[in-house]
Structure 1
Amino acid sequence: MLTTTFSMAQLYPAVATAVRAPSLHNSQPWRFRLADGAIELRLDPDRMLDACDPTMWAARISCGAALFNLRLALAVAGTPARVQLRPEPTDPALMARLVPLAPRAATPTESRLHAAIPRRYSNRLPFRPDPVPAAARHRLIEAARAEGGWLELVIGSTAVGAVAEIAMSANRVLDRDPAYQAEIARWTRHGPASDGVPAAAGGPVAEPHDLLPQRPFGDWHRAPGRDFETEPLVAVLGAAGNTVGDQLTAGQALQRVLLTVTDAGLAASMLSQPIEVPQAREQLRLALGRFGSPQMVIRIGYGQPGQPTPRRDPADVIDTVLEET
């Protein structure tokens, strides 16, 4: 029996914050509900990407990121939560259950990261050449560690080139799959929408001389021969393993890193191609020499102004309340 319970009045604003998490192609594969005074986060079976995410790895990463936002929203509202990951083994769609803890004031870090949520978005435009300061780099590494993940900053042109080649090779594999390309096209939006990636936010069309791969969301071209970026800061985020629990942990670590990026005045975009192709993921792990499993490649730098991609209304992702006390 819970001594305190969450209510619908607490759930709705928390979910409005949670849905600002990133997801592959902005598919938003999550649902939320109250059950016996606890908040449940669930995979949405109607939002799975059959071609781009057949193992549901990306959907679980996204749910982990939404879980981190949910935790921040509840903490800033004065009621932090204890998180139970995958509390019902017989219910594989149930990703997490959040049980209220004793009320307390939010920490300064929680408040800063929460304030960064509406300003965080994937910036697919070229970044300025200004280097990311050492202090900011340290903050990003610590952000991943605080959530049980790890972040490897790829330093040096040789190392960056090796990771870039792995990413490009994976992208070529994916490009040869017609179903994969068709699914990206279905999630590209050319008008008002509440999900998917607006073409205007997709960045420029990829060029053969680009160092890193680019999704074909955008439809505008750069000046001929102009490099996208020659020396980007590339980071690889990982977890101890690649179980469902590891993926949820990695999603929380990813979102904490991305919000720390935003709080530091930086921008980021994600490259999941080398994670989506199993052989490329293993090559990446070996290249890094790290224990554990890479879960995301992140490009970080100083970006041009942009805007977040659209999200569904919280009412569209909240299921009927099972029991409210």
Structure 2
Amino acid sequence: MADRELIEEAVTLASRAPSLHNSQPWRWLAFRGGLALFLDRKRIVGSTDEGGRQAVISCGVMLDHLRVAAAAAGQRAEIERFPDAGDPDLLATVTFTPAQPTAADRSRADAILARRTDRLPMFAPPEWDIVAAALGGAVGAPADSGVRLDVLDDGLRPELGRASSMTEVVRQFDPGYQDELQWWTTPFEYPEGIPRTSLVSAGESYRVEVNRSFPIEDRAERRVGVVEDEARILLLSTPGDTRADALAAGEALSEVLLECTVAGLATCPVTHLTELPDARSTLAELAGVDAVPQALIRVGRAPSDPLAEPIPLTPRRPIEDMLRFA
């Protein structure tokens, strides 16, 4: 049975999982023998995420991050998803058995801390065929989830850019969405939300066609040598649009982000194109998939510049705010 200190350390590390606007919509309950993961409804970003689909995806990323953190600490996580039909907010229970950690387990756990959401333009990822094959194998967990990973053709980039712009135009006249965006990117220091240091300038934003339009930060341009974004764009889709689909998509998103980080690549989840039903239909048609789009991921190479300002870590809530012991 995993002890209290190990559980606290694993949850702390797993909480580096990305979430919509860094809302961190999860809460954990430790019980004798394991953990229970709950959706925290109070942290659903209402106008942006009606129905809480993206919040469940975020919890799926957290769940897989916890599995990785536990494996590196010598504990194999046994996960039961949606164990109580009477409690839809109980997303999973996790129990632990001792297991010898491997070098790959430790590398993926290190990747949790190394990963950043990189909104800047990127170079094309090197040795992409090898990386893409590895990602295709990684997305198999959990078994029979039905999650599909597609690498979108570069020829679709102009159409994706137009779809991204049209989605932003629709959202421009949604006051609830705009208010939420401003709140979650406040210039004040909070243990949640996106700090202004993580936002981009107007010129940097202009060079990335497929990305959410966050408030513009007045700063000097970075990566001026990357004239246009060359990142490959991946699409995660699921057979349906249930909570189980969303949780599985989140777990697969975690796998992709960590595998790319281990390979030395930069990543950026992009979800504004999957928030509205019409936009999801357009995206499925563009990609030629008979499935429900759940998230896009930009994958590329960040320029090597020892003098460049590193992308900062986004804040996280204190462990006592997200974990309690029964």
Q: TM-score, normalised by structure 2?
A: 0.89
Amino acid aligned to 2:192: D
CA RMSD, aligned part only? 2.2
Deviation at 1:151, TM superposition (A): 1.5
Instruction: Identify which of 165, 168, 171 aligns with 1:168.
Output: 165
Q: Are the aligned partners of 1:119 and 1:308 in contact in 2 as well (CA < 8 Å)?
A: no
- The change in CA–CA distance for 1:68 and 1:228 in structure 2 (over 3 A counts) is farther
Amino acid aligned to 2:235: V
- More deviation, 178-187/146-155: 146-155
Deviation at 1:277, TM superposition (A): 1.0
1:121 correspondence with 2:83? no
Q: Secondary structure at the match of 2:299?
A: strand
- More deviation, 196-205/17-26: 196-205
Amino acid aligned to 1:94: L
Deviation at 1:230, TM superposition (A): 4.7
Amino acid aligned to 1:306: I
1:262 correspondence with 2:261? yes
* C-alpha separation in 1, matches of 2:87 and 2:96: 22
2:316 — aligned with what? 311
Deviation at 1:308, TM superposition (A): 2.0
Q: Are the aligned partners of 1:200 and 1:218 in contact in 2 as well (CA < 8 Å)?
A: no
* C-alpha separation in 2, matches of 1:169 and 1:25: 20
Q: Are the aligned partners of 2:185 and 2:195 in contact in 1 as well (CA < 8 Å)?
A: yes
Deviation at 1:105, TM superposition (A): 0.8
Q: Secondary structure at the match of 2:302?
A: coil
2:129 — aligned with what? 134
* C-alpha separation in 2, matches of 1:260 and 1:104: 21
1:294 correspondence with 2:289? no
- The change in CA–CA distance for 1:284 and 1:79 in structure 2 (over 3 A counts) is same
Q: Secondary structure at the match of 1:14?
A: helix
1:188 — aligned with what? 185
Q: Secondary structure at the match of 1:145?
A: coil
Amino acid aligned to 1:74: A
Q: Are the aligned partners of 2:121 and 2:207 in contact in 1 as well (CA < 8 Å)?
A: no
Q: Which runs of 5+ in 2 are unaligned?
A: 304-309
- Structure 2 counterparts to residues 1-325 of structure 1, below 5 A: 5-101=1-97, 103-129=98-124, 131=126, 133-147=128-142, 148=145, 149-157=147-155, 159-205=156-202, 211-220=209-218, 229-303=228-302, 305-319=310-324, 321-322=325-326
Deviation at 1:129, TM superposition (A): 5.0
Deviation at 1:132, TM superposition (A): 5.6
* C-alpha separation in 2, matches of 1:289 and 1:145: 21
Deviation at 1:146, TM superposition (A): 4.0
Q: TM-score, normalised by structure 1?
A: 0.89
- The change in CA–CA distance for 1:230 and 1:30 in structure 2 (over 3 A counts) is closer
- The change in CA–CA distance for 1:210 and 1:74 in structure 2 (over 3 A counts) is closer
Deviation at 1:13, TM superposition (A): 0.6
Deviation at 1:162, TM superposition (A): 2.2
Q: Are the aligned partners of 1:32 and 1:42 in contact in 2 as well (CA < 8 Å)?
A: yes
Q: Deviations over 1:71-108 (max 9, x none)?
A: 1111221121210111111111111100223x111233
Q: Which runs of 5+ in 1 are unaligned?
A: none
Q: Are the aligned partners of 1:153 and 1:235 in contact in 2 as well (CA < 8 Å)?
A: yes
Deviation at 1:11, TM superposition (A): 1.6
Q: Are the aligned partners of 2:202 and 2:216 in contact in 1 as well (CA < 8 Å)?
A: yes
Deviation at 1:237, TM superposition (A): 1.2
Q: Deviations over 1:6-53 (max 9, x none)?
A: 432222011101210000000111111113422011111221111111
Deviation at 1:160, TM superposition (A): 2.1
Deviation at 1:64, TM superposition (A): 0.3
* C-alpha separation in 2, matches of 1:42 and 1:15: 13
Q: Are the aligned partners of 1:74 and 1:80 in contact in 2 as well (CA < 8 Å)?
A: yes
Q: Secondary structure at the match of 2:323?
A: coil
Q: Secondary structure at the match of 1:286?
A: helix
